[in-house]
Chains A and B, each alone.
Chain A
């Protein structure tokens, strides 16, 4: 089954404790992206990747890192999480940048 998976689905952590949210797709897609969804703000793009070893900042990259060492994986790293990073995070992938994106199920992160 074609899908984008994210783990964990729910995470509660404390300020400053490094964490990684994994994202994997099985559709051989070139383009991958991370978004955060906040009430009243819609979805905002954090980082995106056009292909392996090609990542770039989206609209709200501060406090986040990503890597794309393999085509299928695109982890999101929070080196020192802060409460303002409490949000619902979505990973997405598409064949290329102009195609429809397939979204993962979301990761709800709470930073206390």
Chain B
């Protein structure tokens, strides 16, 4: 069975703090894709990153970084020096076998 777990339901941080959002996935497939999406208060879903199962290289994009570890089936997302505009719900998703499986999301609030 395929599953994505985001154990952190809600996180609050003070502006400029670093914050890590956890994502653990389950699949027996050897080829799969992992994604992060952002849903700001306005409601739209915005793509952040995609990783395939054969590429464990970590990635940094500005204040955002992602740590993919197959050994622990995790794909964690870190925001450095958080800003109020980072306040949103963040979803981790697993794509495999033509389907997508989303986690339940982590609601991040950045307090000014």
Co-complex (A, B) = yes
Chain A interfacial positions (CB closer than 8 Å to B) = 33, 35, 40-45, 48, 50, 56, 58-59, 88, 90, 92, 97-103, 105-106
What are 19 A-B pairs at a CB distance below 8 A? A42-B6, A42-B102, A42-B103, A42-B104, A48-B98, A48-B100, A56-B98, A59-B99, A92-B45, A98-B95, A100-B47, A101-B35, A101-B47, A101-B100, A102-B47, A103-B37, A103-B44, A105-B44, A106-B43
With contacts A40-B104, A48-B98 taken as known, whether A100 is within 8 angstroms of B44 at the C-beta atoms is no
Q: Are A90 and B45 in contact (CB under 8 A)?
A: yes
Within 8 A of A (CB), among B63-99: 91, 93, 95, 98-99
CB distance from B30 to the nearest CB of A (A): 14
Residues of A within 8 A of B43 (CB): 88, 105-106
Contact A100–B104 (Cβ < 8 Å): no
Q: Helix, strand, loop or mixed for chain A's interface?
A: strand
Which residues from chain B sit less than 8 Å from chain A, CB to CB? Answer: 4, 6, 33, 35, 37, 43-45, 47, 50, 52, 91, 93, 95, 98-105
- In the bound complex, CA of A105 to CA of B52 (Å): 27
A102 to B4, CA, bound (A): 20
Known contacts A103-B44, A106-B43: A98-B99 contact under CB 8 Å:
no
Q: Determine if A45 and B50 form an interchain contact, defined as CB atoms under 8 angstroms apart.
A: no
Q: Are A48 and B99 in contact (CB under 8 A)?
A: yes
Given contacts A45-B102, A105-B43, A105-B44, 18 further A-B contacts (CB under 8 A): A42-B4, A42-B104, A43-B93, A43-B102, A44-B102, A45-B99, A45-B100, A48-B100, A50-B98, A56-B98, A98-B50, A99-B50, A100-B35, A100-B47, A101-B100, A103-B44, A103-B45, A106-B43
Residues of chain B lying within 8 A (CB to CB) of residue A44 = 102
Q: How far is the CB of A46 from chain B (nearest CB, A)?
A: 11
- On whether the beta carbons of A106 and B50 are closer than 8 Å, the reply is no
Whether A98 contacts B45 by the Cβ 8 Å rule is no
* B45: nearest chain-A partner, CB-CB: A103
